[in-house]
Structure 1
């Protein structure tokens, strides 16, 4: 039996990459896990992906095997204007997946750029310069995934101002809808003031445990409130997903067959289908 052909990008000469911001002001919801594994899954099905780590904790960088000692330049240097984005990008062990790593220097970036008129557009401007410089390059990226910190600060605002759409990881737990409401309010504020084209790409339910009746109720409630904004794919609570970062690998490299990896592959296909810019090979 022939394998199912991968989804590939329809030819679109000169098109800039789609920018997806992984955002949720709550910590521990699977945001970085989603950034790492969605980026890896997109690369696995043929896309060229750049992850930009905007979280001072740098977990996305660590989870992709980028040792802290090797982060000579980082997303901090890009935001303060000391380096161009292309100068801070590093390869990863995943083919077609690149990363602009993070360092703890990001903790002070708000103070450094707060007085700048373009303080909310630092990332957008850096991305535009990067796209202009690589527009004719055959290996230019098709997706940019921005991993935001677990707060609604200037770093997150930069990500939302630069993004085409937001992907919202939402843990299947009691306070999920309360946190979602606050984030949606922020997205609407950014849309009105900074980025009129910003959209919600989708809400991905994470850490789902079918043995927990409350988790099932949360899924039902979120779907009832948000309708088709919620992805069909639900990410299960999975030990292999939790173990993978300690090995410096995305789950898809650590254990491709585990339930978490398979879920992220399905999510990547769903993301592409929602973009409406893709076709079967």
Structure 2
């Protein structure tokens, strides 16, 4: 069965796109057929994987509006993943979806069509935009699981409560099967007590599971985006190691129900 994982947080700059690209690349390395979905009108995931958002013949914009079949918009990446790309046209799709009945289900309907193909995807990872609008609602409604990337800084948890209320609303109204896997620490610096204190506060305040391993801060993330590939491409680095470990844990969780490793920042 295809697993759909949403990576979401209404706060920008928390490594959502990096997490989507890196987890996808790590799972593709392990033989999984992976689809990445760019739901952000800024097209950051699309750009970071070597596609020019301004030169797309067709994108997720037309797919969500039902103008084209989803398989016509798919592009292949250099690391063996498939991408459903986005560009600024998607902002217009968001406005148009607001006027339609069942607007939260547009992505779910599109992914259902891909699931009926002769070679369905093993994993679909959705890069949600930094907002709580209809596009994020589409991502959460289509997903089996959701992870919240959380930057380990003082203001990181601003809006987390509101996001969790949105997840609860989705579970109550459009997707009763959505499962919150937990918060993923990103841009983490283990040398500082500040990073650990932030994670303790978030875990205590919201009752969120903190997933392990934390994703360390590294310049390799910016370099990877500029080169049109994920952080897993090229030489080894601590960011790639962490994402490979998390990807392996997720695959075991989906296959056998083995609990995901959690991080105790006070230890």
What is the TM-score normalised by the length of structure 2?
0.91
The size of the alignment, in residue pairs, is: 258
Q: Measure the CA separation in 2 of the matches of 1:278 and 1:41.
A: 20
Which residue does 2:6 correspond to in 1?
21
Deviations 1:219-270 (A, max 9, x none): 2333445667221210000011121101111010143x11111111011012
What is the TM-score normalised by the length of structure 1?
0.87
The structural deviation recorded for 1:112 is 1.3
Computed over aligned residues only, the root mean square deviation of the Cα atoms, in angstroms, reads 1.7
Q: Measure the CA separation in 2 of the matches of 1:51 and 1:122.
A: 16
Q: Pick from 51, 62, 74: which aligns with 1:66? A: 51
Q: Measure the CA separation in 2 of the matches of 1:186 and 1:152.
A: 8
- The SS at the match of 1:175 is helix
- Check if 1:186 corresponds to 2:166: yes
Q: Pick from 83, 104, 109: which aligns with 2:93? A: 109
Judged with a 3 Å threshold, the aligned counterparts in structure 2 of structure 1 residues 275 and 227 are, in CA distance, closer, same or farther, namely farther
Contact 1:84 1:130 survives alignment (8 Å): no
After TM superposition, the structure 1 = structure 2 runs for residues 188-207 of structure 1, keeping only pairs within 5 Å, are 188-207=168-187
Q: Measure the CA separation in 2 of the matches of 1:98 and 1:48.
A: 8
Q: Measure the CA separation in 1 of the matches of 2:63 and 2:241.
A: 34
- The SS at the match of 1:202 is strand
- Check if 1:214 corresponds to 2:191: no
- Check if 1:122 corresponds to 2:106: yes
The structural deviation recorded for 1:42 is 1.0
The gaps in structure 2 that reach 5 residues or longer are: 259-267
Moved more, 122-131 or 172-181: 172-181
The structural deviation recorded for 1:114 is 1.7
